[in-house]
Structures are given as C-alpha cells and as structure tokens.
Amino acid sequence: MTVTRGTAEAARVCPEPDRTSPNGDLSWLLHRAAQRIKTDLDEKARGYGLSGFRDWIVLAALVSGEKRTQLAISHEVALDKTTLTALLDRLERDGFIVRTVDPHDRRARVPEATEKGREVQAALQDCRDGVENAMLDEFTDEERNVFQHVLRRLAFGDGDGGLHGSCM
C-alpha cells in the first residue's frame, strides 16, 4: 500500500518494519521492547492500586534522594508539570503520597511518599526486577552488561543525561 505523507490515513497506517533487516528500525525496536515491559508492569502496578507503572516511577523518585519540589520531580522523571500534577493528585487522593508547602517558596509543593506509598514502591521494584529478569533470561551475563551499557549511552549520551518529555 502506498501512503502519501501528511494525509489523515498516513497518520493511522504505519507498516511494520522488516524484522529480518540487520539494521532494523531502532526507534521501533526500542519502542516495542519498552511496550513489552510496560504492559507487564502496568498490570502489576494496577494490582497495587496504582493506575499504571508510571505512578511507580514517580513513587520511586519520591523515595530516592532528598525532598524536592514537584517541578524538580517533573524534570527528573521527564513528565511535564501538568501531567505530573494530575498524577500526584491521584496518588495523594489514594494515600500514596502527601504534599507540603516548600519552606523556601510558599507557591511550590513538595511531594513525599507515605508509608503505604513506600511499601507499594518496594513491592513494585521487586516486580520490575522480576519482569526484566524474565525478559533477559535468554541472554548471558556478558550480553546483559553490554545491552545495559549500550542502552545507557543511547538514553543519556556522553553528557549529563538531561532529557525532556515523557519517560513513559
């Protein structure tokens, strides 16, 4: 099928890349790999009362390191502030986090994981490890190390890793 770029149909029709090509379509392959992991982890996160694995990513950011403002967290997890605010509203409503006023800027809020949030974060960290290990079972330790090294370089380059946009 020939599709003219820029048409409404072109936006809906995206042929599957040739999986036999040695070079393949890297962006498609990375996306599909991420989808496989995310599908499994979304299901596990919903089992703990979260809306999906992205909630866990935010909880993990809150549990690690020192207290930070919502804006700092949005940069860290690569979510725009509007999306993060809605996500935090839901986590707060469900008892996974609390937010306090930043003592240095009364307009800013500082989210923190509650005990419930820390427990769910820890449980889902174990789930994440299990899902990743299951996906990588067929690889040798050396292949895993090389794969993770290459992914880090792709994700962060040789710089500071400053990224923008949604991480998931």
Residue 140 has pLDDT above 50, yes or no: yes
Q: The pTM is what?
A: 0.74
| Segment 102-134, tens digit of pLDDT | 888 889 999 999 999 999 999 999 999 999 999
pLDDT in tens, 52-86: 999 999 999 999 878 999 999 999 999 999 999 99
Is domain 38-156 in CATH 1.10.10.10, yes or no?
yes
Q: Where are the domains of the chain?
A: 38-156
167 pLDDT exceeds 60? Answer: no
* Mean pLDDT of the 33-61 span: 94
Q: What are phi and psi of 124, to 5 degrees?
A: -75, -25
Q: For residue 94, report the phi and psi dihedrals to the nearest 5 degrees.
A: -90, 5
- How many Cα atoms sit within 13 Å of 32 on the Cβ side? 9
- Residues 141-161: tens digit of each pLDDT: 999 999 999 999 988 887 655
Collapse the DSSP code of 19 into the 3-class scheme (helix H, G, I; strand E, B; otherwise coil) and give the result: coil
